[in-house]
Amino acid sequence: MNMELEEEKKRKRGPLIAIAAVFLILLLILMIVPQYGVKIDPRPERIPSFEEVFVFEKNLSTEVRTLQSREDFLNFVVPENPVVKTTANRIVSMSCLGEKVCHAKAIYYFVRDNFEYISDPVNFEYVEMPQDFMISGGGDCESGTLLMANLMEAVGINSELVFIPGHAYLRIWVPEALNKYKNKGWIYLDWTCKNCEFGEIPYQNQDLQKTFLDVS
């Protein structure tokens, strides 16, 4: 009789043990997967405003540089400039926990959301130094793209200017980023497209002939 009772208890315990094991496995998955997901596709906690990150006197520079060729855009790439480096550091430190993908997202959204696209005069190409663009609150596509390139380079993200007829934007090389953001390994960013997310450019520009200028 006792043996029959013991067998009955074992039969009842079997399903309970299996259910408990499955529950523990699911609990471990729920704990591990979100942490892993954050690491492979981190997002900025918030995007700071210009006033939060720019800690310098708002004095426009008096430096004037002419554009005689496309390579002259390199004269406006100064990631080692204290204004650029400090601003970039403050953007990413206020937004992220250390991942380079998050740094790239924070800088893109910072430029996209804090500055306005303003056309240059007809038949005149005006390009500002990065601090002048920030102080003025906006500028044309080249000036904003140069600011973004400067900020990316200041935190160690390789950048290239992308030129299409009548427009310019940026592409960056971040191997750690998910493939959904990439086009042949590069992440394309257009700050003038206010409804474009990280890695998106306007559809009408995607198939146009492009030329590139490495600013590293």
Domain parsing of the chain, residue ranges? 43-214
Q: Residue 85 has what pLDDT?
A: 98
Q: Residue 123 has what pLDDT?
A: 67
Whole-number Å distance between alpha carbons of 122 and 68: 17
Whole-number Å distance between alpha carbons of 88 and 84: 6
Q: Residue 33 has what pLDDT?
A: 44
Q: Residue 88 has what pLDDT?
A: 98
Q: Residue 54 has what pLDDT?
A: 97
Whole-number Å distance between alpha carbons of 107 and 152: 7
Within 10 A of 143 (CB to CB), how many other CB atoms are there?
26
Dihedral of CA atoms 132, 147, 151, 162 in degrees, nearest 10, equals -160
Strand 211-214 to 158-164 pairing: antiparallel
Residue 171 has, within 13 A of its CA and on its CB side, a CA count of 21
Q: Residue 216 has what pLDDT?
A: 86
Lookup: tokens for 3: 């043996």
Q: Residue 131 has what pLDDT?
A: 94
Question: 168 and 142 in contact (C-beta within 8 Å)?
Answer: yes
How much is the pTM? Answer: 0.81
Lookup: tokens for 42: 């981190």
The SS3 assignment for 156 reads coil
Whole-number Å distance between alpha carbons of 73 and 69: 8
Q: Is the Cα dihedral 205, 131, 87, 110 positive or negative?
A: negative
Instruction: Give phi and psi for 189, each to the nearest 5.
Output: -135, 125
Whole-number Å distance between alpha carbons of 88 and 159: 14
Question: 196 and 155 in contact (C-beta within 8 Å)?
Answer: no
Q: Residue 36 has what pLDDT?
A: 45
Q: Residue 35 has what pLDDT?
A: 45
Q: Where are the beta strands (DSSP E) in 2-42?
A: none
For residue 216, which amino acid is it? Answer: S
CATH architecture designation of domain 43-214: Roll (3.10)
- For the chain, which residues score pLDDT lower than 50? 30, 32-38
Which residues, 6 or more positions from 216, have their beta carbon under 8 angstroms from its beta carbon?
153, 158, 159
